[in-house]
Amino acid sequence: MSFFDKDERLLLPEWLKTGNALNSYEVKPFSDVRSEPLEDNTDMLYEEFSNNKSLDKAIELLNISFIENREAESRIAAKYVVQGFDLPPQILNLAKYVLKGGMEFDEEQDEKKTAIGLTRDWLRENPKDTLGWLDLAREYAAIGKMDAAEKAITVSLNLQPHHRLVVRNASRFFVNRNQNDIAHKILLKQPNLKEDPWLLSAEIAVAESYNRPQKLVNHARRIIDSRKYAASHLTELESSIATLELSNGLIKKARKLYVSSLEKPTDNSLAQAKWAERSSHIPNLVSSDLLANHQGAYEAKFWEKYYKYEIPEAIELGLKWFNEEPYSVQPAIMVSYLASLLDDYVLCLRITKLGLNIDKNNEILQLNKVFSELCLLTTENQYEIDEFFHEHEILLKFLTKKEDKVTVGQAYANLGLLHYKANQPDLGREYYDMASETFAKIKSTSYLVALMNHYRESVISKSPWADELFDKMSNEVINFNSKKEPAIIYYFAKMSLLKENPLRWEDVKAAKLDLSFLNKDSVSKERVVSFDYDPKNPTITISKK
């Protein structure tokens, strides 16, 4: 498991924008039975119109052929309609629209309606639009306005109290709000809870999220075994049960269910399987092909790229993941970590700010924000520097008093960084040591991160203990359990480069590292280490011998 990972990942419903949810199986019916195919009426109307051309017939033909997707007949009717009659603009606009060749749903208009202001205006006029309220709630949740989001979600739930999408999204919202009991109640009062695998899956995840007894698990297993539902509708339920089996140590059973869940996966079940690969060493659950051919699934793809050491690509996918789940801080945290690996402090700052919009009290994001701000400090005005340091020092010292040792360690590390930046390397060194000690006590991989950051700052500040630190760091990286963690390997490679070029930090910082040789499927046999310090595109390439 990556040290970035949470201990458990639950199959909580993914709260998509209602327009995007259309691509999910979640809004697809259980049965694929279609109503009896009907003959088009366009033929008959077109014949009548052709025999005796008149405006009334043209208008009817345009109406019907448009509904029946008969483009050619629509165009013929439209041409007649636009001949200069005094008609209502609505039918004339349709005729012009048809003649332009546009028969598709206008998504642009939908896109424009996503901003909160516009959605609110829209809802003022259309207060019964369930989807509008659902999207508004999501938009509010994305900026941390949770009370407003709750109001919006409550309205949508009242309008459609039993709609699968509404119910699942509402349950996700209340879990995010740490009101797991409310989320659970919403699910438990669904009349079709036992018959709907989507609701069952959500119920199991929500119950697990606050350690409630799992009363429907056996029923869920029976549902899966009955094969009454198509694979597309069972994917999340199977993945949910697989995760439970995993937590019970039943790896074989879990594997079987995960494999089955990937027959017709959702973004969520793919991400869950990727998590299972990382957390429980169930290898090769998700093939690269399956992932590549699946549209979306940014979380799963993010992790795949991360484990291939393709950090810039992983960041790109992380941003897409965040865009899909703007109500969740997890993608923001991940992107901020990876941005710091690239020493891209601008991105790190931007994403932490966005994440803090969702949850302003998130300590990891607060710490990563301080980290990037310290790294970006450019002013030479001593007063400003003092003010800046003072302000951050207060926050960081406050965080060192927290119970969570990872937070404490990170706060110490940031204090170390702060003092290095304040030209107080002795104090900086001391705080970094305190960070390392804190992490060492809990055997956290962050210990290595702290060492590497410390080494970087010691080199930049030209501190005499830099070489000593490098040796220590090298030993620890080799000995530490998490040596396969891509973030550690990646940054260690960068620090190794810094060791060789201690006066060229700016070049090292901007360099792209190609660690593709570390991938299992890498075909490269030759080991080449090359440094290209082209200021426009500095690159370091390390390939296998």
What are the residues binding another protein (CB under 8 A)?
18-19, 22-23, 27-29, 31-39, 41, 44, 48, 51-52, 55-57, 59-60, 63-64, 66-69, 85-92, 94, 105-106, 109, 122, 125-126, 128-132, 134, 159-160, 162-166
Q: Which is nearer to another protein, 122 or 531 (CB)?
A: 122
CB of residue 187 vs another protein: minimum separation in angstroms?
17
Q: Which is nearer to another protein, 64 or 76 (CB)?
A: 64
CB of residue 70 vs another protein: minimum separation in angstroms?
10
Q: Which is nearer to another protein, 95 or 375 (CB)?
A: 95
Q: Which is nearer to another protein, 63 or 519 (CB)?
A: 63
CB of residue 68 vs another protein: minimum separation in angstroms?
7
The encoded tokens of residue 305 equal 């790229």
Q: Which is nearer to another protein, 77 or 459 (CB)?
A: 77
Going from the C-alpha of 304 to that of each of 274, 498, 509, the distances in angstroms are 8, 28, 24
Residues comprising the chain, all counted: 545
CB of residue 19 vs another protein: minimum separation in angstroms?
7
Three-state DSSP state, 229: coil
The DSSP 8-state label assigned to residue 6 in this structure reads -
Provide the b/e sequence for 224-255 (b: ≥16 CB within 10 Å): beeeebbebbbbbbbbbbbbbbbeeeeeebbb
Going from the C-alpha of 399 to that of each of 48, 402, 406, 411, 452, the distances in angstroms are 80, 5, 10, 6, 21
Q: Which is nearer to another protein, 67 or 376 (CB)?
A: 67
DSSP run (H or E) holding 47: helix 42-51
DSSP helix, strand, coil percent of the chain (3-state; round to 5): 65, 0, 30
CB of residue 97 vs another protein: minimum separation in angstroms?
8
Q: Which is nearer to another protein, 159 or 377 (CB)?
A: 159
Q: Which is nearer to another protein, 44 or 503 (CB)?
A: 44
CA 332, CA 367: separation in Å to the nearest integer? Answer: 13
Three-state DSSP state, 512: strand
Q: Residue 196: CB partners within 8 Å, gap ≥ 6?
A: 164, 190
CB of residue 17 vs another protein: minimum separation in angstroms?
12
* Among candidate residues 339, 415, 225, 328, the one with its CA nearest the CA of residue 16: 328
The one-letter code for the residue type at 170 is A
Cβ–Cβ under 8 Å, residues 297 and 269: no
